[in-house]
Amino acid sequence: MANISIAGVTRSYGTFTALHGIDLAIADQEFMVLLGASGCGKTTLLRLVAGLDQASGGRIKIGDKDVTDLPPRQRGIAMVFQNYAVFPHLTVFENIAFGLRMKKLDEAAIKSKVQKSAELMHIEQLLQRYSGQLSGGQRQRVAVARALAMEPEVLLMDEPLSNLDALLRLEMRAELKSVLRESKTTTIYVTHDQVEAMSLADRIAVMQGGKIVQCADPVEVYRNPATRFVGGFIGNPPMNFLPARRAGGGIEVAGQIIPGPATGTPVFGIRPEDVAEGGEGPQLTGTVRVVEPLGAHLLATLTVAGELFRAVLDSDRKIAPGDTLTLTARPDRIRWFDAETGLALP
Ligand code: ATP
């Protein structure tokens, strides 16, 4: 069993606290993504699990073993970090074979495992090249192939696809997902790319300011963000927010009174794809500012009740800046947040 338990883990650098008491339980064979803006502590947390850095407090367990004070090589993990640590003076083959040689596998087994993981990362034609002669994206794939070749029970990856162009990244993402599922690897994967997070994760842990603000499956995080921050961070374009106030037994939003939460100081939230022209629900009228045809649909930016508001519309819709548009919010997709705490309101 390779479940991972992170309990009360903190990390401070002098007076700065990078991680505030992280609790996270990752199940055996689970694909956990750590997602958050730059500087939120994702890499710091991953380095602690890897043993590349010491926690200031708390415990980390892998399976039944408390690894908090163990060096990386005694933790039974493979990792892909941002600097790759690919040896430039070794060929791609030897780089991928590196860990397998340490395990003293026979030559035939090494060859077959190297070949297999090189094929997965589409670098089989580079096996005899020296790694120092590779592009950043090729080196990054060598690092991933080397980790996969180890067939680890636990794999830790920090932005392993960040240097690939969009198309290759899409392809590698699908390869990684399928191979790690098949090999039943427990994975922690750091990214700030939310599409990557949504596509790969069994669960996403969204981090902000050294804390986990929500940990749930991707659809739940998307549909029911625990905080206003999560709603605004996940989704491209992000969730729209409009000011609201209690009035006439309901809540006033954009000049009309609608039902809403009984407690708190509500802020109204709706995703850009959850509004349409026509249909039942609260009406939001605004002025079109920018129209962006995106192929599959059209993205309109409006001002509604003095706030910027984005709507995803049919690509055939003809609108222009200056037009007045009335949109209907899908009632079942409206979310409420507290203006002071940012927490979702029931
Ligand atoms: P990115 O997506 O940019 O890699 P991240 O979420 O991985 O960001 P971390 O690298 O974990 O962020 O850093 C978290 C915070 O801790 C940042 O504010 C960073 O400046 C700080 N930090 C990290 N390492 C150190 C260090 N060695 N000394 C002081 N501060 C550090």
Give, in order, the Cα–Cα distances in Å from 336 to each of 59, 123, 231. 36, 48, 10
H-helix segments, 224-284: 228-233
Q: Is the pLDDT of residue 343 over 80?
A: yes
CA–centroid distance, 187 to ligand 1, in Å, is 21
Distance 55 CA to ligand 1 centre (A): 14
Report the residue among 10, 15, 16 best suited for mutation to probe ligand 1: largest number of ligand atoms under 8 A from its CB. 16
pLDDT at 78 (0 to 100): 92
Structure token pair of residue 50: 């890897």
pLDDT digits (tens, 9 = 90+) for 164-201: 888 888 888 988 888 888 888 999 999 989 889 999 99
Q: Which domains are seen in the chain, by residue range?
A: 237-345 (2.40.50.140)
Residue 82 has pLDDT above 80, yes or no: no
Query: Which protein residue has the closest C-alpha to ligand 1 atom 25?
Result: 13
Q: What is the ipTM of this complex?
A: 0.95
Higher confidence at residue 280 or residue 85? 280
Percentage, residues of the chain above pLDDT 90: 79
| Per-residue confidence (pLDDT) for residue 276, from 0 to 100 | 95
pLDDT of 181 reads 86
Flag whether pLDDT at 319 surpasses 90: yes
- Would you say the CB of residue 279 lies under 6 angstroms from ligand 1? no
Q: By alpha-carbon position, which residue is closest to atom 14 of ligand 1?
A: 41
Residue type, 57: G
- pLDDT for position 175: 86
Is residue 113 in contact with ligand 1, taking CB distance under 6 Å?
A: no
Residue nearest to atom 2 of ligand 1 (CA): 38
Average pLDDT over every residue of 324-332? 96
Q: What is the pTM of this model?
A: 0.91
Longest Cα–Cα distance of the chain, Å, equals 78
State if residue 208 touches ligand 1 by the CB under 6 angstroms criterion.
no
Tokens of 150: 């180890």
- Can you tell me the distance from the alpha carbon of 177 to that of 143, in angstroms, rounded to the nearest whole number? 16
Measured by CA distance, the residue closest to atom 23 of ligand 1 is: 44
Instruction: For the chain, give the percent of residues with pLDDT over 70.
Output: 100
Indicate whether residue 227 lines ligand 1 (CB < 6 A).
no
Instruction: Assess whether the C-beta atom of 13 lies below 6 angstroms from ligand 1.
Output: yes
pLDDT digits (tens, 9 = 90+) for 34-77: 999 999 999 999 999 999 999 999 999 999 999 999 999 899 89
The reply to whether ligand 1 has any atom less than 6 angstroms from the CB of 38 is yes
Instruction: Tell me whether strands 256-258 and 250-253 are parallel, antiparallel or unpaired.
Output: antiparallel
- For atom 27 of ligand 1, the residue with the nearest CA is 13
192 lines ligand 1 (CB under 6 A): yes
Residue 30 C-alpha to ligand 1 middle, in angstroms?
A: 25
* Whether residue 163 has pLDDT greater than 90: no
Q: Rounded to a whole number, what is the distance in angstroms from the first to the last CA of the chain? A: 37
Calpha distance 142→134 (Å, rounded):
10
Helix (H) / strand (E) containing 158: strand 154-158
Segment 291-312 shows an average pLDDT of: 95
> What confidence score (pLDDT) does residue 84 get?
65
Range of weakest confidence among 41-50, 168-177, 263-272, 297-306 = 168-177
